[in-house]
């Protein structure tokens, strides 16, 4: 899973890095500069963006509005009053600093579950079923396409 963390606090970035290593199978890039970070998010379209609300005076809520489709957002912040804004942006979770490893792990698991559901939906959409019917002792194959929508 590819992730990006944007936060102006080195300690917060370090904790996110340690937690990602502890979970495993996570490729993490960290940014203390919000503009460089969001540009990388737009270029690489990671699975998860861990985003602070206030990054050197830049609004994480405003940055989140430019996320590419398919990037799941987890806010990591000390500002509880912005939780509603986060969920209005369809954030998967809102981690209130300081957060524990178990809380972080649950947030990442939510994204993994969403990615798994997305994969299953794509498989269902692209799947076709074939049935074989015997007609006068001959096999006739029919493909059934199901329309979703």
Q: Is residue 114 pLDDT above 90, yes or no?
A: yes
Residue 134: per-residue pLDDT: 62
Neighbouring-strand partners of residue 73 = 49
Phi, psi of 36 (to 5 degrees): -60, -40
User: Where does the pLDDT of residue 25 fall: very low under 50, low under 70, confident under 90, or very high at 90 and above?
Assistant: very high
* Helix (H/G/I), strand (E/B), else coil: 58: strand
Instruction: Give the lowest-confidence range in 62-71, 93-102, 133-142.
Output: 133-142
Q: Is residue 83 pLDDT above 80, yes or no?
A: no
pTM comes to 0.81
Mean pLDDT on 112-141:
71
Domain ranges of the chain: 2-144
Q: Is residue 28 pLDDT above 60, yes or no?
A: yes
Tokens for 111, please give them: 């994204």
User: Where does the pLDDT of residue 111 fall: very low under 50, low under 70, confident under 90, or very high at 90 and above?
Assistant: very high
CA atoms of 4 and 37, how far apart (whole Å): 8
Q: Are 133 and 122 in contact (CB under 8 A)?
A: no
**Structure-model confidence comparison of residues 147 and 77, the more confident one:** 77
Architecture of domain 2-144: 3-Layer(aba) Sandwich (3.40)
CA atoms of 76 and 72, how far apart (whole Å): 13
For the purposes of burial, counting CB atoms within 10 Å of the CB of 53, is it exposed (0-12), middle (13-18) or buried (19 or more)?
A: buried
Q: Is residue 38 pLDDT above 80, yes or no?
A: yes
Q: Are 38 and 6 in contact (CB under 8 A)?
A: yes
């Amino acid at each position: 899973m590819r992730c990006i963390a944007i936060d102006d606090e080195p300690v917060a970035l370090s904790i996110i890095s340690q937690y990602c290593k502890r979970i495993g199978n996570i490729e993490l890039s960290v940014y203390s500069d919000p503009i460089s970070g969001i540009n990388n998010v737009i270029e690489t379209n990671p699975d998860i963006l861990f985003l602070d609300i206030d990054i050197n005076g830049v609004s994480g809520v405003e940055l989140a509005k430019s996320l590419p489709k398919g990037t799941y957002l987890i806010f990591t912040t000390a500002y509880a009053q912005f939780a509603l804004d986060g969920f209005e942006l369809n954030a998967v979770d809102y981690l209130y600093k300081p957060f524990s490893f178990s809380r972080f792990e649950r947030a990442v698991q939510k994204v993994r579950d969403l990615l798994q559901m997305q994969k299953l939906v794509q498989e269902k959409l692209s799947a076709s079923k074939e049935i074989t019917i015997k007609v006068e002792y001959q096999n006739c194959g029919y493909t059934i396409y199901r329309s979703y929508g």
